[in-house]
Amino acid sequence: MVSRIYNTQGELLAEYADEHRILTPFDEIPKKVRNAFLAAEDQQFYEHPGINPARIASALIANIMAGHKVQGGSTITQQVAKNFLLTSERTYTRKIKEVILAHRIEQSFSKNDILYLYLNQIYLGRGAYGVASAAWRYFGKRLDELTLSECAMLAGLPKAPGKYAPHLNHDRAIKRRNTVLYLMERSGYAKAEDVAHALKSDLKVVPLPTKHLSDAYAQEVHEQLVQQFGLNTLRRQGLNIVIPYQQDKENAAIQAVREGVLEVEQRQFYRTPTQHPKNTWDDLLATWAKAQTHIKHPLGRDQIIPALVEKVQKNGDLILHDGEKQWRLSKPKWQWAKAEKGDTHPRTWMVGDEVYIQGDGKGGIRLSQKPSIESALYAINLKQGTVLARVGGFDFQFGGFDRVSHAKRQPGSAFKPLLYATAMEKGFTPASIVMDTPIVFSANNADNFWRPENYKNKFAGPVTLRNALEHSRNLSAIKLLQDVGIHTFTDKLRDFPFTQEFPPQLALALGATEVTLEQLTESYIPLATNGLKWKPVSIQQVQDRNGRTLYRNVAGHRCQVCHVNPVLSAGHGMRPAEQILDPTSAFLTTNMMKGVIEHGTGRRARALGRPAAGKTGTTNKQVDAWFIGFTPQILTGVWTGRDTPASMGRSETGAHAALPTWLAAMKAFQKGLPVEDFIPPKGIEWAMINPRNGKLAGSNTEHPFLESFREGTAPTEMDQVEDNQQTGESDFFDSDL
């Protein structure tokens, strides 16, 4: 039985099955379908006792005269015995068993029961078992929609499905179908005029259903189903599964990840290409041309294909051929990687080089190379509580390494919002002052010390917590952790969706730990939803083949009464949401994170054109780049880096290497949604302050800022003197950690 996955609109997304089968009651199998198989396989089915001696003798004579098997003598009852109870070995012993079992089946079942078993069990090619499945997989029709011609074609398949399948050999299938039609007319199973009409019709086979469910989203759904029900149940019990998948959103996410990776790759060193001798060019180009039959043209910015350097012009321009088309490419300005030991290729392009070309979005191409960079994306619909998109890598394949849930990497400054949220709960405000000054931590000896640094080694002195978060000031974060208390923070982290214990170290303020993209993105859910922790839903409902609900899942923040019923609370998401932050602390943190985008390290995200909050993250030597951000409707996290941790280059910060992917995906996710801002919960008050010192703005305050506070915590001291002191921010504001 086939298990099928549908989206909430009822569109078929994917199928899981060892055998594609649609069990159909006997009285729902049209008579013309039954008659076609009787004419082709066993015209005396209703007369013989399970075996047909005359037919066996006729087949034996025909096979002897031909010198090989040209005709079978088995009745439908014998085929049922073989398919259900015996192996397919060709021995006299097995044949004797088949005859005995056929006789016993005839004694135990009615003729209609036997025919029902046969028509639902017989293999008809293209993965289809049974006539209903074959009707769907060949013609995209129900049994009652089949024409006489199509019935005859299906009835001609049991003899040799691979030989007579119309999508494999159309002419041979037509001849076999015609033979079955003649047999139907001769045996009285069809009228002559109906047969004459059917003989003139063509056979149009529909493509098999496309798998719309893709990338890491497909793998995550499969893994959850196997964990919940087991692989055998999933592939054999005909489950009907509903998931919140939106193909257009997943495709947009995949495209954003691929384009983002290829853009970062443009800033990497060019690596030594493969060289091909001229006598191999023809075969190579033919292979590439064949592969391009599955590629859309013109190439998109997310697509790369191989190309051969056929000529290098005097001015450095390259003449390339991709197997289908020749291109002229202006002299590339790519910086080459240093030659490794044994690499004799000159640091320039040569005739015979295999390079890669990428679509430029305008119908042309630009030089590219196979990515050394990877990226992953995870998006959540905050309103519905569902997984919106999940991309496991640049070219993720089912069964591959899902970087959303399996890649553990340091989050860098993307971890800081959790510290700031903890501080808000402990009485700090966005206007609280923290020092951004150098500090050195010594160990037991003078040669062992830790000296944390800010990006570009700039310091701003006393700053507000808002300023420190917006500009990702590392030293301020460390001092804030000292003030909050390391154990207070590590205890709070247990409330967030992490499975590991965190070491009580000050470096935790800078994200010196390892998390997955899935964990880090879901840890932002409480910040975005008034302090509530809940698990996003990937599978909403599972029913058995009889329509009985086996499993339901609703995100906790939307579920009001479902957790009352222990049967329906089997899914983790059926549990009510847990309040791990008070709504005020969550809002204060989110409001500061809005500033990250409005005038901090995440300024590129302003191009989204609507209120959003987020945080960049970059680890030492630009090994990992992150951006986690959200609107009131959608939360999306992006990680970019190498599978084997190594620097991507000094410019590859979170704002450069991850945020553009986030932005491209979020533009697609938010399309058509109303513009919403974050709504303050009860208990929030507002005050106009001096953003430099956190005091109430006075008449001489330059650039006063409207800040949010927990009721009763707004500053009371007035900013009396105009402060023109420079803080060093003008240079540092250009940082993008």
**Does residue 570 sit in helix, strand or coil?**
helix
Please say if 413 is a catalytic residue.
Answer: yes
Tokens of residue 725, six digits: 């002191």
379 contacts 387 by C-beta, under 8 angstroms: yes
Q: How far apart are CA 63 and CA 57, in angstroms?
A: 10
Strands (E), 59-176: 128-129
Is residue 3 annotated as a catalytic residue, yes or no?
Answer: no
Residues 6+ apart with CB under 8 A from 89: none
Distance between CA atoms of residues 284 and 22, nearest Å: 44
Q: What does the block give as tokens for 701?
A: 């305050």
Q: How far is CA 736 from CA 180, 406, 477, 625, 656, in A?
A: 73, 26, 16, 10, 8
The answer to whether 283 and 247 have CB atoms below 8 angstroms apart is no
The DSSP element (H or E) to which 399 belongs, if any, is none
Relative to beta strand 578-579, strand 549-552 is: unpaired
Which of 413, 472, 476, 523 is labelled catalytic? 413
Task: For 355-385, give the DSSP string.
Answer: EEEEE-SSS-EEEE---S-EEEEEEEETTTT
Closest Cα partner for 469 from 707, 725, 658, 670? 707
What is the C-alpha to C-alpha distance for residues 378 and 266, in angstroms, rounded to an integer? 24
Distance of alpha carbon 299 from alpha carbon 363, whole angstroms: 7
Please, which residues bridge with residue 326 across strands? 321
Place of tokens 């953003």: 691
Rounded Cα distance, 627 and 638, in Å: 5
Q: How far apart are CA 621 and CA 273, in angstroms?
A: 27
Cite the DSSP H helix spans in 500-653.
Answer: 517-523, 525-528, 583-599
Radius of gyration of the chain (CA): 34
Distance of CA 251 to CAs 93, 117, 291, 629, Å? Answer: 56, 42, 21, 20
Angle between helices 170-186 and 192-200 (to 10 degrees): 170
Which member of 41, 150, 220, 707 is catalytic?
41
What Å distances lie between residue 428 and 68, 464, 466, 589, CA to CA? 90, 10, 11, 11
Give how far Cα 619 sits from Cα of 1, 415, 499, 637, 682, Å.
49, 11, 22, 16, 37
Residue 408 zone, left/alpha/beta (φ > 0; ψ -120 to 50; rest): beta
Residues assigned a catalytic role:
41, 413
